[in-house]
Structure formats: structure tokens, C-alpha cells
A and B are shown apart, each in its own frame.
Chain A
């Protein structure tokens, strides 16, 4: 197939290709692949940072331990409650807001809304959590607003004290911070739908409401699925809000998400083996969702 004269050039090209890509590969081997393999390996040992004795091999002991510990099941519950309670409202509201925004004729107005919605995503999650810590103070704005809306003056909603409320509070912070980000994603998705389709539908007598349910939503389905999984993956990794709330005095158990548990177990309590087993479980959960993302994005391609 190949002619001899080209080999020189091909070799040269291959050499440069290697030179350009090998540094990154080495980097990823050391800082991504090695750590995950190491976590898998360590999860089989009873490793504690401070002990000088070589760690004991325990097979799947760490896994049987965490899966029989109510504390870890509580973390799985907290993570999934948070994920479901956050990503579903985020996806629904951001889709709705994006659809509303694309209906605004004035481009300037649309830009103003988009930027206002997006601004919370710009600040860091630690800052977001401190702002809301103050809002959720018993004397704070949270109580004042809710009591105004519900007409229940003087009631303390226990935003940071009650088991259920503190979970809701973390969800509110996350919803607030990321709603604009997802609105922007959906606006991009909506903009990709050719206006000619709507024009044709309007000529055929379709109302805006009908157009949304019959045209926009089906065509946008791949984006919705993709954005949902992305939002879920983000929620599964949540750490900062829960960490700051716990540091700020909120009860730990209701919001002890997996990442927070890994941190406490591995770093505070020095149970490296056990924390590694939790890390692997988290990794597998996220792998499942990523795999779903790839499957959906392959099968749900839409041609306009």
C-alpha cells in the first residue's frame, strides 16, 4: 500500500505527534490513572496513615465494612437525596426559563436576564455558602421572606437546624448557584433549532404552547438528557456547600454526602483504606452515569 518515499515523512510526523502528546499522557498517568488504581489497591488494605506497621491485607473487608455501616448508607442516601432534589428542579426550571427567554424579542433584555441569572455561577462555592449561611440564620432574610410569603410572622423555619430543612437549604444554595449556568446551556440548545420549523408550525395554526410541547421538547430531548446527566454528575460530587454548612454548625448526618464522608474518614480519621473503598464506590456510581451519558448521546442524535 504505502510507497517507500513517504515513509520518511510519516516517521517524522509520527515522531512529532508523539513529542506533542507524550507529556500530557505522562501527566495523566501520574495524576489520574495511578491514583485511581492506587485507590483500588489501597481499598483492599487496612491502611492508616499514622501507623508505621505495613498495612494488613483484608480483601474486600473494607467494602463489607462500609456496606454494613449505617453511616455509609446514610451518606449514599444523603448524596442521592441531594442529587435528585437538586438536579430535577434545576433541569425543569432552567428549561422553562430558557424557553421563556428565547421568546423575549428584545435582544438586550434577554442579555440582561441571562447575565443576571448567570452571575451566581461566577462566584466561588465557598462564598455562596457563606452568603446563604447568613440568610439562613434564625434572624436572617430566609425567615423574613418565608414568613412574609406564608404570612406566619415570627416563625423560625430552622433552616440549618432541622434535619429536613438543612437538606433543603443545601439544595437551595446549589439551585441558586447553577440555575443560570443551565439556562445558558438550554438557550444554546434552543438556538440550534431552525426557526423555519416554528414558522411552518405557526402557518399550520399551531399555538406557542403547542409548538413547545410538539416541536421544541422532542427536538431538544438529546440536550435535556445530556444536561440532566451532567447536572447529576455535578450534584454527586458536591462538597463545598455541605462542608461549610457543617463547619458553620449545621448537623452533619443529614448532609453527610459521600465526598464529605471520604474526607472525614480519610483525612480526619486517617482511615485511608476505608476511605479508598468509598472513593471506588463513588467512582463506580459516576462511571455508570457517564456511561449512560455516552449511550444516550450516541442514540439520541437528531438531524434538523
Chain B
């Protein structure tokens, strides 16, 4: 009995040790980002590193917004990222839900073909089509514009798939009842179906917002002028410049992460639920 108890404690301690070491590993770089954003540059790369800022250097944030060339383009880039991410989140949710609804609840010739086609696009990685896509955007005169940043991401195949999966279980009786009551098809979608998809909508909206907030590759191709660039481009350029102050770089990183941190704090269950949705692909 005694031996048993002893052994259990050992494994228990080991489990806790692993969990806590991993916790330190995942959280430490984030803490590093935040504290070093308030440090003088010579304190950041000092050996040994001290975690408390000696001087509370808020000027790093001014420098991050101002940029090395003093152009104050970062606020504009932040605005661009917000605009693109919010627009894409809204259009993805709207178009994906209406398409998913069409596929889930209407019988028509070619329905399965359409669904298969949309599923097939999930197999096409963006990285493999970015160059022809760039030529499409140029052909449509969308390069270096908001349209160019937004239009290729108006809706995602994964979004349609998710909405369709969710809506196949939606009781058709509600729809028929509303039809009997004389509500038009758009009215049914907008008043009955859409409001009932709230959890999927939240998950999908966050996923789409995040996708664009994080998007480096496409803006790298499609934008040329500084004022059309988005946050990832600004940060990567800022990090490359030789005269960049490390403290200001971390301040820019904090500013770029702030909206995501706020969203995560407020809606963490949709983030964590959001990744769990991939599980539904099994079915």
C-alpha cells in the first residue's frame, strides 16, 4: 500500500513538472515581448537579462508608431489591417452561411457537385496559387488597393463546409412553418436561420479575422505603397531595418498583438472551440 502511494506521488509530481515547464516555455516569450517593449535597447540584450524594466520607457511605443523614417505610417497600417480583417470576417460569415444553407436545405440538381467542388478547393493551398492569383488581381486592376487585399478572401471553403455541417441538423419544420406564415426565402434565411447559427458564426468570424490579421504573404505580393500595407508587412520591414531599436520593435509587436489579446480574453471559448471544429471534419 505504502509503495503504491509513493509511486503515485512520483508520477503526479512528474506530470506537474512537465506541465509547469511547458507553461513557462509558452508564456515566457510573451512576457519577454511585453517587458522588453518598455526597456532601453541596451537593457534588452544585456547578459544576464533582468526582467524588470529599469526605466519605464513608453517612448518605445511612440517610436514604433512613428517608424524609423518618421513617417507615422504604422497607424495607417493598423487601420488597414483592422479594415481588411473585419470586412473579411463579415463577408465570410455572410456568404458562407447563405451558401451552406443553400447546400444543406435545398434539393436541386448539381447540389452534390457544388458541394464537392467547394470541398475540393480546400485542397488547393494558397501558397500554390498565389502567383496566378496575383495576375488575376492585376487583371482586375486590384493591385495595391483594399479590394486587392479583401476580395480573394471574401469567403472560405472551410467556412461553407462548417456552416453546411451545422445547418444540416437544423430542423426543417421551422423553415416550413415560416414559409406557411408567408416569409420569403431571404427573410427565412435572415430572420430564422442566421440568428440560430450564432456559435458557428462567432467561431468562423474569429477564424477569418485572425487569418487576415496574420496574413503576410498576400499583402506582400499585392501591395506596393507604404500606405496600403498591413501590420505584418510593417513589422517585418521594421524588424529588418538596421537602425531599428529593439525596444521599439517589441512595442510594435505588442501593438500588433493587442487586438488579438483582447479578443482572446473576451471570447476565449470561441478560439478554443474554433480549433476544435476541425475535429468535425472527421464526420
Contact = CB atoms under 8 A, between A and B. Distances in A.
A pairs with B: yes
Interface of A: 10, 13-21, 23-25, 27-28, 30-36, 38-39, 42, 93, 96-97, 100-101, 103-104, 113-128, 130-135, 137, 139-141, 143-144, 176, 179-181, 184-185, 188-189, 208-209, 222-223, 226, 230, 233, 236-237, 239-240, 243-244, 247-248, 258-259, 262-263, 266-267, 272, 275-276, 279-280, 282-283, 286-287, 290, 297, 301
B132 interface: yes
Contact of B99 (A21, A103, A125, A176): A21
6 contacts: A17-B107, A123-B260, A127-B253, A135-B32, A248-B239, A279-B128
B132 A276 contact: yes
A92 to B, nearest CB: 12
B77 to A, nearest CB: 12
Contacts of A184: 272, 275-276
B132 A42 contact: yes
Contacts of A243: 216, 236
Contact of B102 (A16, A180, A272): A16
A58 B110 CA distance: 38
Interface string B1-23: 00000000001000100110011
Given A128-B29, A290-B122, 16 more contacts: A15-B108, A24-B118, A25-B118, A35-B124, A35-B132, A100-B18, A119-B264, A125-B214, A126-B231, A134-B246, A141-B32, A185-B279, A236-B125, A239-B217, A262-B131, A266-B131
A25 B124 CA distance: 15
Interface of A is mostly: helix
A141 B49 contact: yes
A96 B18 contact: yes
Contacts of A18: 102, 108
B145 to A, nearest CB: 16
Contacts of A240: 214, 216-217, 232
Nearest to B46: A139
Nearest to B4: A207
Contacts of B135: 38
